[in-house]
Chain A
């Protein structure tokens, strides 16, 4: 690939992160802070002897066990972050192209040597690849602070800390699972990403209302005209069961990415993303 194109794309990604740092950095930082404060508050309520006993129990539990086997335990802690990521993604996707037209910055970007395809792809890339990195970094920072507090607690209560070290390794291994879960979820839900981007590029006002309203209307017309419910069934089959895209073991990683449902979702999502790229030519 041309070096200039790579630099261009990097600049577009940097722009996305800087313009939406509240969603990608601020939101997970607030969630991490809330979890730490809540944990600290709960720890303050427990008697110190019981706390030391609990700590030694955790230490024994993780001692000597493979971090990769124990990593799924930490997926539970990631649930609030994943939910925040989903909500932030919806807010970002539905506003990003709409905002460009609203504040007329689209005219500036179209005067630059950047194509509409590159711009829209940078937004997809931001959600699929870049945003999960910031979330994982925030979770890592939270684990690090948590481990430092546990270590201080362990030292002050004469608890064997070897198990805590193993626990930290398991937590680090879980970060890989969390990142790939977010990545696979984005690929799995690429039709939704394309849908939101399409209406973000289309609507003159209230893009979220357009996206929701047209979805209901299209489903209604499909049922009314053809007597089928493929659209509703398609959405239900992709959104209903999180086990389809959350990864709890390293062995299933490739299987989750390279399967018919995911690849077909990418094809369908690409149709909508192509629509969003062409839609950007209407700047009014």
Chain B
């Protein structure tokens, strides 16, 4: 076993990384370390990697609403309203 691990630098690196990741994942699973996802907080849109489909659907419905409404000012208002709606939907899902 030792000979296999220390055969060359690559096997040693792989074994070290496997042990490292194994310990991290085991500890994370045992202690219930919360898995955070990437959330981009910004005033223009809500984006959550876990709910990418929802983001796409919201985005499409928002674009179609925008094309139906008239002026740029209206678009801004609709965008704000939709954003609030999408937030409500998200919280409802949760």
Contacts and interface: CB of A to CB of B under 8 A. Distances in A.
Interface on chain A toward B: helix, strand, loop, or mixed SS? helix
B35 A230 contact: yes
Interface string B33-49: 11111000000000000
Contact of A231 (B19, B24, B37): B24
Interface in A249-281: 264, 267-268, 271-272, 274-275, 278-279, 281
B19 A233 contact: no
A198 B27 contact: no
A272 B20 contact: yes
A271 B20 contact: yes
Interface in B25-64: 25, 27-29, 33-37
Contacts of A274: 16
Contact of B16 (A226, A229, A264, A271): A271
Nearest to B10: A202
Interface on chain B toward A: helix, strand, loop, or mixed SS? helix
Interface in A114-164: none
A272 B6 CA distance: 15
A244 B31 CA distance: 19
A279 B34 CA distance: 33
Contacts of B33: 230, 233-234, 237
Contacts of B67: none
A282 interface: yes
Contacts of B37: 229
Given A214-B17, A271-B19, A271-B20, A278 B12 contact: yes
A198 B24 contact: no
A48 interface: no
Interface string B10-23: 00110111011101
A184 B13 CA distance: 28
Contacts of A232: 36
B8 A272 contact: no
A268 B20 contact: yes
> In which size bucket is the chain B interface?
20 to 34
B68 interface: no
A1 B74 CA distance: 78
A230 B34 contact: no
A279 B12 contact: yes
A218 B13 CA distance: 12
11 contacts: A202-B13, A222-B21, A229-B35, A230-B29, A233-B28, A234-B28, A268-B23, A271-B23, A274-B16, A275-B13, A275-B16
Interface of B: 6, 8-9, 12-13, 15-17, 19-21, 23-25, 27-29, 33-37
6 A-B pairs closest in CB distance: A275-B16, A230-B28, A282-B9, A229-B35, A230-B25, A271-B20
Given A230-B28, A232-B36, A233-B36, 15 more contacts: A198-B16, A222-B25, A226-B25, A229-B35, A230-B25, A230-B35, A231-B21, A233-B33, A234-B28, A264-B27, A275-B16, A278-B6, A278-B16, A279-B12, A279-B13
